[in-house]
Amino acid sequence: MNKYALALGGASLLLSVSVLAAQAQTKPPITPPEPPKFDAQGKIDYVGVADILEFKALPDYHEPDWVTKNFVASGKLPAVKDRLPKEPMVYKQGNMVDGLGVYGDTMRHVIGGRPEGWNYSAGQTQGWGGIDIGLSECLTRSGPLFQIKADELQPLPNLAKSWEWSEDGHTLTMHLIEGAKWSDGQPFTTADAMFYWDDNVNDPNVTPLNGAAPGSFGEGTTLKADGDYTLIWTFKDAFPKQYLYQMAYGTFCPGPAHILKPQHPKYSKNTYEQYKNAFPPEYLNIPVMGAWAPVEYRPDDIIVMRRNPYYWKVDEAGNQLPYLNELHYKLSTWADRDVQAVAGSGDFANLEQPESFVEALKRSASADAPARLEFGPRIIGYSLYPNLSANGWGEPDERGQAVRELNRNEHFRKAITSAVDRKRLGESLVKGPFTTIYPGGIYSGTTYYDKDSTAYYPFDLEGAKAELALAGLKDTDGDGIVNFPAGTAGGKNVEVTLLVNADYQTDKSLADGVVSMMEPLGIRVLLNQVEGKQRDALQQGGQFDWMIFRNQEDLTSVVQKTVNLAPIGPKTSWFHRAGEDGQVDLLPFEKELVDVVNKFIASPDAAEQKELMKQFQKLYTDNVYGIGLTQYPGALIINKRFANIPKGVPINLFNWAEDSIIRERVFVPADKQGKYELFPETLPGAPGDKGGPAKG
């Protein structure tokens, strides 16, 4: 290969004979093997956006009887028609597989995460598993797009009910839903969107959950309000329609400005830390635009959410949504979510940890099993990401900095990838046709995947060692671990820490596999295994050498979270960010990646976008950008009593299934309703009220 000839040219005299001999053994990359056959079970009924929803006024509106009786009749709440916006969002019956629903019952979720608090605008997690998806709403929506016809694919309207582009394509005018209210009855307006944008996204001291930054919507993008209900975006590029996806979960979901703003340092004496922590989990009834608001929190036990009386979506008969009165979030473990969903003591699980596949399948097989289990396509996968910032991000010490320099060396990354035996790794999680070899980049079996543009470095320990030598690493003291070159990090053994989310068995299993596969290569990997919310913080803060990462929608749908595919902005990449000076120290091939991703975002042409993603995949896998580990299908487990679960919902394509199933339309037929409501006939109380829900 030319590259090698070039490297040898000037430097050949310096290379030892053994290195030359070894480097001749390095196997060139191949196209990845065909994955074992595994068909998704549910067939999707594809539709257009207008088949799902519209915004319009209906002649009359309805709500659960107890709301009218206990709250409206006593004057505690206005009538339902006065709580709804002028033109609510109306879900079309034709797209509801079981039709119009009835009120009542609870969806009992179980999660492994723990809430930090309710200030997601300032970066706090609520514990995942769809809590934040249930309580927040975003300008647009992506989850349900799995069922949209390819030629009509664009984000669903949501808080932004419509938008239009200026003739030159640089201005996007968005119309927010008019007259919608937060769950405490306060109006939702552009003031909420502008507080999110000005004082959270654009305040360098604040990083919203999921990392929204100015660059997330394009460098140089501006946002202004025109009155209460119009937002005006300007972009450097013409028609960057891709950013409409960024306005979906979780990068443009405004929080309640009337509650948050008074705590923000710009408008108070608070520090940024105090602002972030001003709404701990104990703060109940935080106002939401979502269908349910949190009304009860018991540490390590449960979060309970009750229906939002001001929710702004209805069915075609005018019934205010949601149909379900309550959501539970039991605070347990992710593995327990699977166990409980299968057993019927929980209602929902994204079966995503292969370690529990066989048991879950076995238990769901019988006709009287309480839950149905449906496998989707292979869209769950993990990569090993080297921290590529040599610019001070995360403030590494001398050893850490030396590892960053190594991470930036192509030979080093090739050594690592060639030392990973992906077949063995996959089989260590589960036997059978589930896992498949994943070289990295776009997932096989998804729209933008192109096998011929994918470079796979097969398992080859000798070749890997040769690459390590080319990276300048030798075991100088004969203890089996290669050393940094003299003069770097004291010439000590190369020890790399691997950041791992301890909340998931799969993350831990894969990390163990990586440790044991790096050992014979001569690299010592030390695990930094921490609970999920700490993992998130260390990742956001750049405090890792390598990390194990469950990939997200950028690599499955590509159109969602596209900006995360490359460091197109100072904070957009998961594993390569800017230092203090705001600059990302891009490697030469990353400059090309950035260029390709920017072109993809700006391109109005589907065929061109497809070509661009081939280039992306080639650059990504040739250069071993992220080191793919394994890829496999996930299954949605959901209790059989629920109706209106769309067919073929993938557990994570454009977003997680908690969004994609459109929970506000899900219901339980009257004869199947369980007595699970912990706070029947109550609604969210006053914000911050320690008393929990209101009885009316």
Residues that bind ligand GLA (CB under 6 A): 128-130, 334, 350, 352, 656, 658
262 Cβ neighbours under 8 A, 6+ residues apart:
268
Among 152, 301, 395, 479, interactor with Ca ion by CB under 5 A: 479
Picked from ligand GLA, Ca ion, none, the partner binding residue 656 (CB below 5 to 8 A depending on kind) is ligand GLA
- Tell me how far, at minimum, the Cβ of 474 lies from Ca ion, in Å: 8
Q: For 656, list phi and psi in degrees, rounded to 5.
A: -70, 160
Q: What is the Cα–Cα distance from 400 to 395, expressed in whole angstroms?
A: 9
What are 277's two structure tokens?
């922590």
Picked from ligand GLA, Ca ion, none, the partner binding residue 608 (CB below 5 to 8 A depending on kind) is none
**What letter represents residue 313's amino acid?**
K
What are 291's two structure tokens?
């269908």
Picked from Ca ion, ligand GLA, none, the partner binding residue 574 (CB below 5 to 8 A depending on kind) is none
Nearer to Ca ion, 253 or 481 (CB): 481
Picked from Ca ion, ligand GLA, none, the partner binding residue 129 (CB below 5 to 8 A depending on kind) is ligand GLA
Nearer to Ca ion, 198 or 475 (CB): 475
Nearer to ligand GLA, 249 or 297 (CB): 249
Nearer to ligand GLA, 376 or 463 (CB): 376
Q: What is the Cα–Cα distance from 596 to 190, expressed in whole angstroms?
A: 33
Instruction: Specify the stretch interacting with Ca ion by CB under 5 A; choose among 110-118, 333-341, 469-477, 511-519.
Output: 469-477
Nearer to ligand GLA, 129 or 214 (CB): 129
Picked from ligand GLA, Ca ion, none, the partner binding residue 475 (CB below 5 to 8 A depending on kind) is Ca ion
- Tell me how far, at minimum, the Cβ of 609 lies from Ca ion, in Å: 48
Nearer to Ca ion, 524 or 695 (CB): 524
> For residue 132, how many C-alpha atoms fall within 13 Å in the half-sphere facing its CB?
30
444 Cβ neighbours under 8 A, 6+ residues apart:
32, 35, 378, 436, 438, 451, 454, 631
- Tell me how far, at minimum, the Cβ of 636 lies from ligand GLA, in Å: 10
Q: What is the Cα–Cα distance from 496 to 492, expressed in whole angstroms?
A: 12
- Kindly state the DSSP code that residue 34 receives in the 8-state scheme: P
Identify whether the C-beta of residue 456 lies closer than 8 Å to the C-beta of residue 627. no
Q: Interaction with Ca ion in 481-540: which residues (CB under 5 A)?
A: 481, 483, 493
Helix crossing, 606-622 with 588-602: angle to 10°?
Answer: 160
> For residue 148, how many C-alpha atoms fall within 13 Å in the half-sphere facing its CB?
21
Nearer to ligand GLA, 352 or 460 (CB): 352
Query: Does residue 462 touch Ca ion according to CB under 5 A?
Result: no
- Tell me how far, at minimum, the Cβ of 129 lies from ligand GLA, in Å: 4
Nearest to residue 454, comparing CAs of 384, 551, 548, 555? 555
- Tell me how far, at minimum, the Cβ of 441 lies from ligand GLA, in Å: 21
Query: Does residue 475 touch Ca ion according to CB under 5 A?
Result: yes
Picked from Ca ion, ligand GLA, none, the partner binding residue 87 (CB below 5 to 8 A depending on kind) is none
Picked from ligand GLA, Ca ion, none, the partner binding residue 621 (CB below 5 to 8 A depending on kind) is none
Query: Does residue 359 touch Ca ion according to CB under 5 A?
Result: no
Q: What is the Cα–Cα distance from 643 to 149, expressed in whole angstroms?
A: 23
Nearest to residue 319, comparing CAs of 159, 154, 100? 100
Q: What is the Cα–Cα distance from 327 to 109, expressed in whole angstroms?
A: 7
Over the window 641 to 670, marking each residue x when it contacts Ca ion by CB under 5 A and - when it does not, the resulting string is: ------------------------------
- Tell me how far, at minimum, the Cβ of 595 lies from ligand GLA, in Å: 31
Nearer to ligand GLA, 129 or 426 (CB): 129
524, β-bridge pairs:
495
Nearer to ligand GLA, 71 or 642 (CB): 642
Query: Does residue 398 touch Ca ion according to CB under 5 A?
Result: no
Query: Does residue 477 touch Ca ion according to CB under 5 A?
Result: yes
Picked from ligand GLA, Ca ion, none, the partner binding residue 350 (CB below 5 to 8 A depending on kind) is ligand GLA
SS3 breakdown of the chain: % helix, strand, coil, rounded to 5?
Answer: 35, 20, 50
Nearer to ligand GLA, 134 or 628 (CB): 134
State which H helix or E strand residue 659 sits in: helix 657-660
Picked from Ca ion, ligand GLA, none, the partner binding residue 128 (CB below 5 to 8 A depending on kind) is ligand GLA
Question: With CB under 5 A, what is the number of residues at the site for Ca ion?
Answer: 6
- Tell me how far, at minimum, the Cβ of 481 lies from Ca ion, in Å: 4
Picked from Ca ion, ligand GLA, none, the partner binding residue 279 (CB below 5 to 8 A depending on kind) is none
Task: Give the Cβ contact number of residue 18 at 10 Å.
Answer: 11
126 Cβ neighbours under 8 A, 6+ residues apart:
113, 115, 116, 117, 118, 120, 132, 135, 303
Residue 181, SS3 per DSSP: strand
The site for Ca ion (CB under 5 A) is made up of 475, 477, 479, 481, 483, 493
